[in-house]
Amino acid sequence: MRVWRPAHDNAGGARLRERPGRWASLALVAAGLLCGGCQGMSAEVAPQQRAQLEQRALGLLLRAAQSGLDAVIEANAIEALSDVAPDAGLPAFHAALDSSSPLVRYAGCVALGKLRHLPALKNFRRLLDDPDPRVRLAAAFAAYRCGDRGQARLLVQMMNDHPDEKVRAEAARLIGELGEPKALKRLRLAAMREQSDYVIVHIESAMAKLKDRDSLDRIIQYALKSDAVTILLSLQTLAELADPRARRALEYRLHNEADYLQMRLLAARALGRLGVDDGYELALSALNHKARDANETMQIRSNAALALGAIGRADALAALKHLAETESDARTQVAACYAICQIIRAARTSQP
């Protein structure tokens, strides 16, 4: 998941703003969905109760995706649904294409594009003229995924020529998501011309996703020795790639107590994708972290929930359930519900 990004790098460029009244209304929804007979975070969630918990968590994600409460909340829920329940999320993804929020339109395009949802192709083509450049990028990505291969030109053009470095970076990221190894040549040329380190990291990440070993090596090195923003971006990429070659670097970041907690949680999440649960206790304790700034509290608790979701241990379900029931920030509630769905789905698919 990439919508839950640090404040400097959230999808679509939207800032994570404080809107306590709106988040409180979603908190009431969460309480109604998840509280039935709750016994607190210390109680185990019995296997026979997991299906009900999963449905309640999924219900919150579906409501959040079309809540109209806040664009970031809707986009986060759409991205979560595209992973854990794409069929159930289809109505929300379609509705997102007509949202007044560019961030939500972006999220809807990307979700439907990843699904290669052909019935939405005419809507993607319509959004190629959207006033927001990131929505145009997402529409081009989705159209390409649905067979309109000519839209690759727009992605490459904006990666090379757009004056906003964040738009260039997003274009590179989406090119990496296309899964086309033939795009490596274009990405290498862009990296040679690019002056922004921020964009170069995204280009290297895209090439790593397209199985370029040298780029993966560079992303691992960025995660070890770089500035804070580049380390965070690199850790996000490594969490998506789940490549065993990154394990030693991730363990270093996890156990480096001088690091920002958010970096350590991203490392825990990436290790969880590798089947390593070394970050479990750190993530579990960070669910209750209280920072001076409410936005930092949200980021840490949300990333802790996402790390637990990636680690996949069922004994985290009670704590995640408690977080979803009691948290006042809807972004963290959505992260907790996404993690619940991930863990229960993984447990179900691992059964003989």
Mean pLDDT over 209-221 rounds to 97
Please state the domain extents for the chain: 39-69+279-352
Q: Has residue 42 got a pLDDT over 80?
A: no
Helix or strand or coil: residue 194?
coil
Structure tokens at 215: 């780029």
Q: 329 to each of 73, 113, 336, 349, how far by Cα in Å?
A: 10, 29, 11, 31
Where do the H-state alpha helices sit in 274-328? 280-286, 294-311, 317-326
Q: Is the pTM of this model over 0.85?
A: yes
Q: Using H for helix, E for strand and C for coil, what is the string for 28-87?
A: HHHHHHHCCCCCCCCCCCCHHHHHHHHHHHHHHHHHHHCCCCCHHHHHHHHHHHHHHCHH
- At 43-72, the pLDDT tens digits run 678 878 999 999 999 999 999 999 988 999
Tokens of 100: 């007044």
Query: Is the pLDDT confidence value at 1 over 60?
Result: no
DSSP secondary structure letters along 153-175: HHHHHHHHH-S-HHHHHHHHHHH
* Predicted confidence band of residue 41 (pLDDT cuts 50, 70, 90): low
- The pLDDT tens digits of the residues spanning 5-36 come to 433 344 333 322 223 333 333 443 444 445 44
Q: Over 50: is that where the pLDDT of 39 sits?
A: no
User: What pLDDT, on a 0 to 100 scale, did the predictor assign at position 349?
Assistant: 80
